[in-house]
Chains A and B, each alone.
Chain A
Amino acid sequence: MPPSRLDVKQGTLALMILRTLDVLGPCHGYGIARRIEETSGHRLSLNYGTLYPALLKLEQEGAIRAAWRASENNRRAKFYTLTAAGRKQLARETQSWQETAALMAAFLAPPPEPT
């Protein structure tokens, strides 16, 4: 039984892509998708209609740059690289997510036992 599938939450995919590129360095679309799926324990699955528009959006916003070059097994592939602006965006959004997550965690924690 595979783990239950989740939909990618609106606005989180961009952050995942940026983080992936930050960790892996320059990477092609398949590499990014695979890394995100693996990190999520295969609960996330990215199809082309989700992944490539998201990559295009980040490119338009100047957070990543794309260039064609040969891959490790000599196939031509488009590699995405984080730009300086992308790095800044990643730092900013990471912090904001951590704060939100901490807040939500505190909020949703089980109420303390009455003393």
Chain B
Amino acid sequence: MRQLRAFLLRVIGSFRAAPDYREEMEAHLAFATQDNIRRGMSPDAARREALMQSGGFTRGAEGVHERHGLPWLQETLRDARLALRALRHNPAYTFVAVMTLALGVGANTAIFSVVRGVVLRPLPYREPERLVSLESTIGERGSSVSVPDFLDWRAQSTSMRGISASYTGTQQTVLTGSGEPERLTQVRVSANTLEVLGIAPLLGRGFADGEDDPGAPRVALLREDFWLRRFGGDSSIVGRTLVFDGFPTTIIGIAPRALGWPAEADVWMTTRFTPRDAAPVARGARWLTVIGRLADNATLAQSRDEFSAIATRLQQLDPTHNGDVGTRVTPLLESITGDLETPLYVLLGAVGFVLLIACANVASLSLGRVAARDGELAVRTALGASRGRIARQVLTENLVLATMGGVAGIGVAVLALKALLAVAPADLPRVSDVRLDGSVIAFTLALTVVSGIVFGVFPAVRAAATGVHDRLRSAGRSGRGSRESGKSRRVLVVAEVALAVVLVTGAGLLLRSFALLRAVDPGFRTDGVTTFTVLLPSTRYEGDARVESFTADLLARLHRLPGVSSAAMSFALPLSGDSFGFTFTISGREAANGADEPRAQARVASDEYFAAMGIPLLRGRLFDERDQRGGHQVLVISSELARRYFPDEDPIGRLLQTGWGNGIPGQSFGGEVIGVVGDVHQSAIEQDATPHMYMRAAQWPLDEFDVVVRSSAPYSAVVSGARGVLRALDPDIPLGAARPLGDLVDGALGHRRFYMLLLGAFAGVALALAIVGIYGVMAYGVRLRRQELGVRLALGASRGGVVRLVLGDGLQLVAIGIVAGTLAAFALTRLLASLLYEIKPTDPATFSVSVLALVAAATIACVLPARGASRLDPVETIRAD
């Protein structure tokens, strides 16, 4: 305690001037003199005697100074002050070095803060490591969970303290009766969800047991941010009744912002499964997201065993729907970020390379500076400075430089992070958790110190290596010392080029994949197509007839808008993430079980849908007025469905039947095939088209659907026209999620675009830094060799010959770097495999292009110094030394 107090005081003391003890020591001397006089000495002798005893004021002051601070810290500070002064004298050098480092450190900080926010930060729930995601699996593929499966899991599992289900993703809901109608996002969860997550409402209460029953009074939680925005944080909202989709709903509490499961939304409501949702036939309808909290005594492995046993029981119970359905138990954080870890760590590695290149550049600059200061260092050595002392001073200077770079880097990181979040895909999970927090700053500091050492050690060792004799002899001339630093700098150039090759190759691979993906025909045409969603409040649009007439009215009016060539509705749009998979039977064939059972995705579409989307009719006909509701049910199927299940037959006229309907007794999805249309990449651009069946919207009215409008009018005109149509039909229905269809395609490629842009930016920076580095070394090399070059010119070497000589020298270095870099790229691009589309990580075309890019860049960097060399005046260069 005592020691610590003294230590801290001395740390502080190191930064301050030592207290002045002179007055105290003078008082001391006066007392001693007086005593001596009293003992009978003459005043002069008394003072002399006292002075002799004192040991001198200087020694006293020195002792106090040493004790006041910490000698090593004081010395370091003195070095730092010296370094600052030296750096101030050379502002160009300081600026370039600090900016280079700031770029490297800033980019690293920005990427690290994304990795930290998305992957590393624990979930904001109680004991988040005990939360698991529970999925069904069909074959190898993960799947949502059906209501009957969920209820059976919950009844049979003992390894979970609680299991909670939610509708997958968010739904739309419309708030009316409280000012402007507003479209909100809502999630529907089991009543125990807050308990399972271990999160308490800010105000009011959470859901009570039984509030997720279909007959229970409707209750909702508002999320903090929505509550603040819409109700200004008015706490009297708790207990009030608001109208959602026409249903009066009691607000029971406010959920904290941290609540983000299963998705971020404005309103939390309960699942309210109907008996139909839970009926045995619904076991094949998988649309729930399920999580659980492990029981106190249970391990992950135990829960996996238990759930696979439950899955086996359900397979035996219902082989039709669950024949090949298993379960998967994953830690919740891993299930959210699992797919992102690889790309984010690749980016972190790549940006680390950028920092290494930046360090190499600064090291090279610093070496040049040491060489230029040979004279000064020689004098200091001659005056008795030890090698350690000189190395220490150079290292201190570089650490000071690194610190300045780090501080500037935090500024760069703030800007870079802003830019980065602007291009981040909208569905990047937990992106709202990305910020520069304490641990990110700590990372930056560590990075700064490490980079300072990385680029500082090289020059420090070099500065100390040369003896005073060599130094004095070569000072101010192009002697051995400079040559040696030239050699070290050449090694750095090779390293820089190699690192740049790796980055450029990686970026090239992503770029090529992206280009290939953009070239994929998704099966529909996006130009001139606008989409939005409509949600009819079920209280006022009960009954298919009302929904049908509203829909027909809406589409007819949209069609009459200027420029519109087709207007249609659909559920759901391709690439929207919504999908509804069913197994079905084919008339005239034996029903198959398990994996052999025919499967397809079902969509509902109105008549003009295919025209609006530009999906071609290949055989048969499309929907028309013959296909009435309640009449003969018809289907249009995708080319892939026809290919897979009717390889040698004509599917037209066959009956396909699923076991799942929309609640009307005796009705299930399916019908007679009347036409075959082109394939559409429905779930992802990079995934091949899967079998699809389209049902006619007029036969299956929906109260929630997407609208697609193909028009020659500009997007904004279409949206405002559509808004007018909707308002005229029903002012309580807002226009939702309007966007050009092309945005869906862009959104589907959002992640790839993000990784490509970032890696591309890193590669660009790497290339630029490498060019600067090569240029610096070559220009310096020419300066060292100017005598020799002058002699060559004087002896009749042609100017072209000198250019070739210098260029050849530079390109030789670059060639070594390229070979090393290509080898490294061969080893490292494997990490990108999961991000590539249709090309191998060792794609020869990409490798060739990136090598060419490096050669071109390096040539530019070498040409200027080479031309400079050829313009040397032989007489002057020879005379100069």
Taking beta carbons and an 8 Å cutoff, which residues of A are in contact with B?
28-31, 33-34, 45, 47-53, 56-57, 60-63, 71, 73, 75-78, 85, 89
Contacts and interface: CB of A to CB of B under 8 A. Distances in A.
Interface in B11-27: 19, 21, 23-25, 27
B784 interface: no
Contacts of A48: 21, 25, 28, 54-57, 59-60, 63
Given A48-B60, A56-B64, 9 more contacts: A48-B56, A48-B63, A50-B63, A57-B67, A60-B67, A75-B27, A75-B30, A76-B23, A77-B27
Contacts of A78: 24, 27
Contact of B28 (A29, A45, A73): A29
Given A29-B28, A61-B2, A85-B2, A56 B54 contact: no
Given A49-B60, A53-B63, A61 B27 contact: no
Contact of A49 (B2, B6, B55, B68): B55
A77 B55 contact: no
Contact of A53 (B3, B25, B30, B67): B67
A49 B34 contact: no
Interface in B377-421: none
B46 to A, nearest CB: 14
A50 B59 CA distance: 9
Interface string B777-801: 0000000000000000000000000
20 contacts: A28-B24, A28-B31, A34-B32, A48-B54, A48-B55, A48-B59, A49-B56, A49-B62, A50-B55, A52-B64, A56-B19, A56-B64, A56-B67, A56-B68, A57-B67, A60-B10, A61-B2, A62-B2, A73-B34, A76-B23
Interface of B: 2-3, 5-6, 9-10, 19, 21, 23-25, 27-28, 30-32, 34-35, 53-57, 59-60, 62-64, 66-68
B9 A52 contact: no
B55 A89 contact: no
A85 B159 CA distance: 58
A49 B28 contact: no
A29 B3 CA distance: 23
A47 to B, nearest CB: 3
B172 to A, nearest CB: 67
A63 B62 CA distance: 22
Contacts of A53: 63-64, 66-67
B57 A61 contact: no
B35 A34 contact: yes
Given A61-B2, A61-B3, A52 B31 contact: no
A29 B2 CA distance: 22
Contacts of A45: 53
A79 to B, nearest CB: 10
A28 B60 contact: no
Given A52-B21, A52-B64, A77-B24, A61 B30 contact: no
Nearest to B29: A30
Contacts of B6: 57, 60-62
A85 B28 CA distance: 26
Contacts of A61: 2-3, 5-6
Contacts of A62: 2, 5-6
Nearest to B31: A30
A100 to B, nearest CB: 20
A48 B60 CA distance: 5
B60 A52 contact: yes
B25 A52 contact: yes
Contacts of B55: 47-50
A53 B63 CA distance: 5
Contacts of B25: 29, 48, 52
B53 A47 contact: yes
A75 B28 CA distance: 10
B59 A49 contact: yes
Contacts of B35: 34
A75 B60 CA distance: 21
B11 to A, nearest CB: 11
Nearest to A51: B60
Give the one of A28, A56, A71, A73 with max B CB within 10 A: A56
Contacts of B24: 28-29, 52, 77-78
A60 B66 CA distance: 13
A25 to B, nearest CB: 17
B221 to A, nearest CB: 55
Contact of A47 (B31, B59, B66, B68): B59
A51 B53 CA distance: 12
Given A28-B27, A76-B27, A49 B5 contact: no
A48 B23 CA distance: 12
Contacts of A60: 5-6, 9-10, 67
A32 to B, nearest CB: 10
B753 to A, nearest CB: 60
A47 B58 CA distance: 11
A30 B63 CA distance: 17
Contacts of B21: 48, 52
A80 to B, nearest CB: 10
Contacts of A47: 53-56, 59-60
7 nearest A-B pairs in the assembled complex, by CB-CB distance: A47-B55, A48-B60, A49-B59, A53-B63, A30-B31, A53-B67, A60-B6
A85 B1 CA distance: 11
Contacts of A33: 28
A56 B20 CA distance: 12
Contacts of B57: 48
A49 B63 contact: yes
B306 to A, nearest CB: 62
Contacts of A49: 55-56, 59-60, 62-63
Contacts of A56: 19, 64, 67-68
A30 B28 CA distance: 5
A77 B30 CA distance: 10
Contacts of B10: 60
Contacts of A85: 2
Contacts of A34: 32, 35
A61 B1 CA distance: 9
A75 B56 CA distance: 21
A89 B60 contact: no
A73 to B, nearest CB: 7
A89 B28 contact: no
Nearest to B8: A60
A45 B2 CA distance: 28
B54 A89 contact: no
A53 B28 CA distance: 15
A34 B5 CA distance: 29
B63 A89 contact: no
Nearest to B62: A49
B52 to A, nearest CB: 9
A89 B2 CA distance: 10
Contacts of B3: 61
A101 to B, nearest CB: 23
Contacts of B30: 75
A68 to B, nearest CB: 9
A62 B6 CA distance: 8
A29 B31 CA distance: 10
Contacts of A29: 24-25, 27-28
A73 B62 CA distance: 29
A75 B34 CA distance: 12
A93 B56 CA distance: 31
A19 to B, nearest CB: 18
A63 B348 CA distance: 52
A20 B68 CA distance: 23
A18 B226 CA distance: 67
